[in-house]
Amino acid sequence: MLRTFMTHRVRKVTELSGCLWRMKQGGRNDAGEEVPMMVPGCWEMMPGFEKYRGKMTFSRTVEVEKKSDLRIRFGGVSHTADVYWDGEFIAHHYNAFTAFDALVWGAEAGKHTLTVEVDNSFNEQSTLHFPNDYMTYGGIIRPVEMEYLPGAYIERVEVETVKTGDVWTACAKVIIGNPDGAKTGAKLTAEIAGEKVRTEIRNGTEVMIEVPGALEWSAENPNLYLMTFEIEEDGKVIDDLIERIGFREVRVDGNRILMNGKPLKIRGVCRHEDHPMFGAAIPVEAMARDLELIRDLGCNSVRTSHYPNDERFLDLCDECGILVWEENHARGVHEEEMKNPLFEEQCEDCIREMIAQHRNHPSIYIWGIMNECASNTETGRKCYEKQYALLKELDSSRPRTSATFRQGSDICLDLPDVVSFNTYPEWYKDISAKDCLEGLTEWIAMTGGAGKPLIISEIGAGAIYGYRSSGEEKWTEDYQAEAVGRQLDAVLERDDICGVYIWQFCDVRVCGEWFSSRPRTMNNKGIVDEYRRRKMVYNVVKGKFIGRK
């Protein structure tokens, strides 16, 4: 399942993942032996393919019940996918971390072959996936489903919740796929908490439903509501979509971020989708386990560094009341690479897909873009300007930010709603955390970022699990525990800082090219190691976070 709850009662959905597909090294026309491979999965986890970077072909047989139009939904393929139905090309998608559809019109009943050519190569065509401080794996890394479409169908909905006086209203825009397929007189109904609206069917139709007595969504009380949309033809419901929403409003007021009028104080971790047994294809059970640890640490937030996450993780955050900073996929891109015209296009595609797919999650309180890119250059500034404008155009209901480390040289701080800084006092910088924050806030006050909310979007220190020493040398658990403790004290005592994200939740694999600055070819700044074993710092973080409001 692509979500943690049922999204259709009427539309028939068949799961195509959670089982073995056939995998062959190379492109679909290359000769080679097929081996069974689990989907979702990363081939680096398979003996013999640990270091393989290139093309891989996945296929499986699909049984279609009766002649139908089909939508095949891929949650994520890393990183480039070309999809074929009985040998005919039906879809192309770049970027591992957003979902995409492949449509098949008029598929005949019976057996068909679905083939996905996957490529995880690093080359000029790929401006977001390149050797980086996290691993780009290969494979169909998220679930796959096949939906039977009835003609016109509900493609997706965009829901915003608005409070007027004491009453909440759910405002939904309904995007209809294949609208010409609708019969004359077809009707659309929307329902939430027993309140119903019926209207003509039209692509982009807006419906507004007041929900008296609606319980608000917050980190403390994550109240969720199912909202059902149906298409009715000749008195019969022929299609539906169930979305889940929460009533809440986020807004920036001076140097505060408010949710339902209350200031947020973020206590969070940055998290990569990485696991030593599954790579980036983390099973939902392991996601839930991560969230149990994150909550046990006393965190109220996760930053999905550095890309949009598996939607099931966002579902779990909605359910647990974990606030999410979700960001598009672009980490540490230098000015030269930002000049590649594909860079803007690929970033913008990622933003469009991320917002279309995830905008209804109440847990997402902020959108982030371009972590540590060239925000100190004119080229960079143009990209930031465009992407911030795009975010606003697509969703004006959430603040926007970007994590930078460029104290002294960033020329983009006037652009976001929230200023965010990554800083590593007592790790990369030989300065106390307290002095570091003082210097940073003084400098921000002289820039376009003055007076805006400030988040410390990364602090942290590395430690190799099990390496302990009373000398507190760097890379020991002892040093990490002390340094992170002091960093947290310095941030948390300041009222003018809205929150902090620790870099990072768990140790993660990095691309081989990063070996020289990364012992074990891992980024070792996890609070837990890659197997989620707690380092000494775990209890220090817990001690500082638990009980804080």
Dist. CA 434–CA 366, nearest whole Å: 26
Q: How far is the CB of 509 from ligand ADA (least distance, A)?
A: 13
Q: Which residue number, 470 or 517, has a Cβ lying nearer to ligand ADA?
A: 517
| Site mask for ligand ADA (CB under 6 A), range 195-234, x = bound | ----------------------------------------
Q: What is the DSSP letter of 325?
A: E
C-alpha 444: how far from chain center: 28
The only residue of 161, 375, 422, 476 in contact with ligand ADA, by rule CB under 6 A? 422
Q: How far is the CB of 66 from ligand ADA (least distance, A)?
A: 49
Q: Which residue number, 192 or 370, has a Cβ lying nearer to ligand ADA?
A: 370
Q: How far is the CB of 502 from ligand ADA (least distance, A)?
A: 11
- CA-based end-to-end distance of the chain: 35
The only residue of 503, 505, 538, 545 in contact with ligand ADA, by rule CB under 6 A? 503
Residue 523 touching ligand ADA (CB under 6 A)? yes
Residue 487 touching ligand ADA (CB under 6 A)? no
- Strand locations in 349-505 (E): 364-368, 400-404, 418-422, 454-459, 499-502
Angle between helices 311-320 and 284-296 (to 10 degrees): 40
At residue 398, what is the residue type? R
Q: Which residue number, 328 or 422, has a Cβ lying nearer to ligand ADA?
A: 422
Core vs surface per residue 315-324: b (16+ CB within 10 A) or e: bbbbbbbbbb
Q: How far is the CB of 232 from ligand ADA (least distance, A)?
A: 49
- Residues 342-371 within binding reach of ligand ADA (CB under 6 A): 371
- 284 contacts: CB under 8 Å, gap ≥ 6: 4, 312, 316
| Phi-psi group of 279: left, alpha or beta (phi > 0 → left; psi -120 to 50 → alpha; rest → beta) | left
Q: How far is the CB of 142 from ligand ADA (least distance, A)?
A: 21
- What Cα–Cα distance (Å) separates residue 503 from each residue in 226, 304, 361? 34, 11, 24
| Site mask for ligand ADA (CB under 6 A), range 325-344, x = bound | ------x-------------
- Residues 367-406 within binding reach of ligand ADA (CB under 6 A): 371-372, 405
- Residues 277-306 within binding reach of ligand ADA (CB under 6 A): none
Q: How far is the CB of 375 from ligand ADA (least distance, A)?
A: 13
Residue with tokens 């089909």: 70
Q: Which residue number, 59 or 407, has a Cβ lying nearer to ligand ADA?
A: 407
Instruction: Name which of 297, 302, 301 is nearest 540 in CA terms.
Output: 297
The only residue of 267, 361, 525, 544 in contact with ligand ADA, by rule CB under 6 A? 525
Q: Which residue number, 359 or 406, has a Cβ lying nearer to ligand ADA?
A: 406
Q: Which residue number, 43 or 134, has a Cβ lying nearer to ligand ADA?
A: 134
Residue closest to ligand ADA, measured at CB:
133
Q: Which residue number, 85 or 503, has a Cβ lying nearer to ligand ADA?
A: 503
Q: Is 391 helix (H, G, I), strand (E, B) or coil?
A: helix
Kindly determine how many residues on this chain lie close enough to bind ligand ADA according to the rule CB under 6 A: 10
Q: Which residue number, 300 or 422, has a Cβ lying nearer to ligand ADA?
A: 422
Q: Which residue number, 95 or 360, has a Cβ lying nearer to ligand ADA?
A: 95
Q: Which residue number, 105 or 515, has a Cβ lying nearer to ligand ADA?
A: 515
Q: Which residue number, 71 or 525, has a Cβ lying nearer to ligand ADA?
A: 525
Strands 323-327 and 301-303: parallel
Residue 17 touching ligand ADA (CB under 6 A)? no
Q: Which residue number, 79 or 525, has a Cβ lying nearer to ligand ADA?
A: 525
Q: How far is the CB of 133 from ligand ADA (least distance, A)?
A: 4
Cα dihedral value 429, 435, 437, 438, nearest 10: -140
Q: How far is the CB of 275 from ligand ADA (least distance, A)?
A: 18
Bridge partners of residue 44, in order along the sequence: none
- What Cα–Cα distance (Å) separates residue 241 from each residue in 156, 217, 328, 355, 358? 8, 21, 26, 18, 15
Dist. CA 117–CA 89, nearest whole Å: 10
- Residues 114-143 within binding reach of ligand ADA (CB under 6 A): 133
- Residues 434-473 within binding reach of ligand ADA (CB under 6 A): 458
Q: How far is the CB of 372 from ligand ADA (least distance, A)?
A: 5
Q: Is 96 helix (H, G, I), strand (E, B) or coil?
A: coil
Q: How far is the CB of 505 from ligand ADA (least distance, A)?
A: 12
Output the six-digit token pair for 256. Answer: 């505060």
Dist. CA 205–CA 219, nearest whole Å: 31
Is the dihedral angle over the CA atoms 491, 496, 499, 500 positive or is it negative?
A: negative
Q: Which residue number, 205 or 523, has a Cβ lying nearer to ligand ADA?
A: 523
- What Cα–Cα distance (Å) separates residue 5 from each residue in 2, 53, 147, 244, 319? 9, 35, 16, 9, 11
C-alpha 34: how far from chain center: 32
Instruction: Name which of 359, 321, 65, 358 is nearest 215 in CA terms.
Output: 321
Q: How far is the CB of 458 from ligand ADA (least distance, A)?
A: 5
Residues found near ligand ADA in the complex (CB under 6 A): 133, 331, 371-372, 405, 422, 458, 503, 523, 525
